[in-house]
Structure 1
Amino acid sequence: MERRGLDAYGCFEREGSLGRVQRSFAPVVAAARERIGAAYGQRLHSAYLYGSVPRGTARPGRSDLDLLLALHHDPGDEDRDTAEVLARGLDQDFAEVDGVGILLHGKGRLLSEQERYDLGWFLACLCTPLLGADLAEHLPRYRPDSLLARETNGDLTAVLPRWRARARAASTPADYRRLSRHVARHLVRTGFTLVMPRWGGWTSDLAESAEVFGRYYPERAAQMRAAAAVALEPAEDPVVLHGYLEDLGPWLADEYTAVHGTKTPR
C-alpha cells in the first residue's frame, strides 16, 4: 500500500535526515553547523535544515540551503543582522549552493498554540535537527487534514498584494527570476495543500505536488505543472509573473478560502 509520507497510523513521517545529505553538500552543512554555533552561542536553542538538501534531492550549484534557527528569545535586530552575515558568508564560500535562507524564531513562538498547525507543524515534520535539542519532542503528531491545510497555506489572499508590490518594484532579469521562483513555489505548495486532505498524504516534491493537484482540478493542471517547472528554472519574463499574480494566484486564493477557510490572523 502506498504510504504517501505517512506512518501506519496516518500521521506525517518526518521528511529528510542528515543521512540523506549528498556528499557534495556535506561541507556546507558542516560549516553551517559550526558557524551557527559560533555566531549565536547561548542565544541559540536549536538549528534545523529543511528543503532539498536534507531530502537528498538538491542540485549542486542550483539549489539553496535552507535553515531554521530557534532562539531562546524572540529575535531582535542583532539576531537578524547575524543571520544575514551568516547566510551571505555561506553562500559566498560554497559554490554548491545558490543562496542561503535563514528563518529566525523564538522557541516560545514555535511551541505556541497559535503556531501549532503552522510553524510547529513545519518544524516537526519538514525540518531536520542540526544542532541542539529537538523541539519536535514537545509537539503533537500531525495528519493531512483541513485544519492543517488552512493554517499552513490559508493566507494567499493576504500575500498576493505584497507580491504585486514586489513585482512593480522589480526591474532586472535577476529580480524577476527571484520573484518568479518564490511565487511559483508558493503557488504549487498551496495548490497541493488545497487537495492534500482528499489525496490523504504528503509530498514536498513540486512536480509530484502539481500532478496531484491536477487530478482534482484538471482545468488548471497545465498551469500548475508550468509553475512547478518555473520553481526549478525561474523565469525572467514578467508576463509569467503577471499570470501568477492576476490569474492563477487569485483563483487559487478564492478556491482555498471556499474549501478550507482563512488562516487564523497572526
Structure 2
Amino acid sequence: MAETIRRPGLDDQGFIAREGSLARVPAVFRPVVAAARDRLPEVFGARLHSAYLYGSVPRGTARVGRSDLDLLVALRDEPTDADRDAVRALGEAVDARFPQIDGVGTLLYGRDRLLGERERYDLAWFVACLCTPLLGEDLAEQLPRYRPDSLLARETNGDLARWLPRWRERIAGANATEEARRPLVRFMSRHLVRTGFTLVMPRWNGWTSDLREMAEAFAGFYPERAAQLRTAARYGYEPVGDPDVLRAYVDDLGPWLAAEYARVHGVKDPRPGD
C-alpha cells in the first residue's frame, strides 16, 4: 500500500494544528487589534464570553490597506439583532480609524451553539483550528482535536448547492458597476477555492489557508478544472468586477463543484435558518 504523505498544517499526531497567534500579528496591525480588544467588553460587558482573531492578521500575512480585520465573538447567550448592529457599528468605527485595514468583519454566536454537537465539525472546528484567542476563556479547551477527514470536509463546505441560488440573487441585485461586483467576485472566489480544497483535503492529507496552495492541492486531483480554481484563487486576492466571472461561478464551476462534493463526501446537515 502506498505511504500516506502528511502535508503542512498538521501536528506530529496528524491533527490539524491551530493556525495563527498574537505573536504573528504584524506591528502595523497591532493598534487595530488592541482597539477591537478594548472596545468589545465595552459593547457586551459580562455577556462577552470570549473573542478571537482569524484570517490573515493573526497568520501574519495581512497586507496594509488591502486586508480586513476578522473577528469571532462568543456571547454567553444567543445574540440579538441589536447585538449584530452593535458589532457592525464597532467594526465601522475601527475601520474608519485605521487606514491600514480595509474593513472589519465580525462573526457573532452564542457559546452554547459553538459548543453544541451540531456544530462540532463546522463552527467548533473553526474556533479550535482557525481562530486565535483574543479575550476570555478559550473554547478550544472544550473541543476535540480534528483530522482532515471526509466528515470534516462534508460539515464545513458540503452546502454549496444551497448557497448557489442565494448567490444568483445577490448577483442579480448588485448594482451594474464594476465596483459593486468586485466584492462579490472576491467573496465567491474564496468560497469556491476553499470548497475545492476541502473536496480533496482528505486525500491531500493536510491543511492550508493560502488560496493559491489550496488551488494547487485541488489541481493534483482534478487537472481538468485546475485552471478555473487557480484563476479563482487569484481573484480571491485581486478581485475584478467582471460579470462573466460571476456567471461562470454560478452556472459552471459552482454547480460542478457542488455535485462532485455531494458524490465524494455527501451533503452537509442543514442548520437552523438554512
* Bin of the TM-score, shorter chain as denominator length: over 0.9
The reply to whether residue 180 of structure 1 matches residue 185 of structure 2 is yes
Aligned letter for 2:198? Answer: T
Residue 27 of structure 1 corresponds to 31
- Once the 2 structures are TM-superposed, how far is the Cα of residue 216 of structure 1 from its aligned partner? 0.3
Q: Distance in 2 between matches of 1:83 and 1:174?
A: 25
Q: Deviations over 1:12-65 (max 9, x none)?
A: 110000000001111100111001121111111000000000000000000011
Q: Distance in 2 between matches of 1:53 and 1:2?
A: 26
Aligned letter for 2:154? Answer: R
Q: Distance in 2 between matches of 1:3 and 1:252?
A: 23
Pairing 1:172-251 to 2, within 5 Å after superposition: 172-251=177-256
- Stretches of structure 1 that go unaligned for 5 or more consecutive residues are none
- Once the 2 structures are TM-superposed, how far is the Cα of residue 131 of structure 1 from its aligned partner? 0.4
Residue 264 of structure 2 corresponds to 259
- Once the 2 structures are TM-superposed, how far is the Cα of residue 3 of structure 1 from its aligned partner? 4.8
| Equivalent residues of 2:6, 2:205 under 8 A apart | no
RMSD: 0.9
Residue 13 of structure 1 corresponds to 17
The reply to whether residue 123 of structure 1 matches residue 127 of structure 2 is yes
1:86 to 85, 90, 94: 90
Deviating above 2 A after TM superposition, structure 1's stretches of 4 or more consecutive aligned residues are none
- Stretches of structure 2 that go unaligned for 5 or more consecutive residues are none
Q: Distance in 2 between matches of 1:148 and 1:243?
A: 27
Aligned letter for 2:234? Answer: A
Secondary structure class of the residue paired with 2:106: strand
2:110 to 106, 109, 112: 106
- Once the 2 structures are TM-superposed, how far is the Cα of residue 174 of structure 1 from its aligned partner? 2.3
Identity %: 65
| Equivalent residues of 2:6, 2:206 under 8 A apart | no
Secondary structure class of the residue paired with 1:265: coil
- Once the 2 structures are TM-superposed, how far is the Cα of residue 234 of structure 1 from its aligned partner? 1.0
Equivalent residues, number: 266
Q: Deviations over 1:68-95 (max 9, x none)?
A: 0000001001111111100111111111
Aligned letter for 2:164? Answer: L
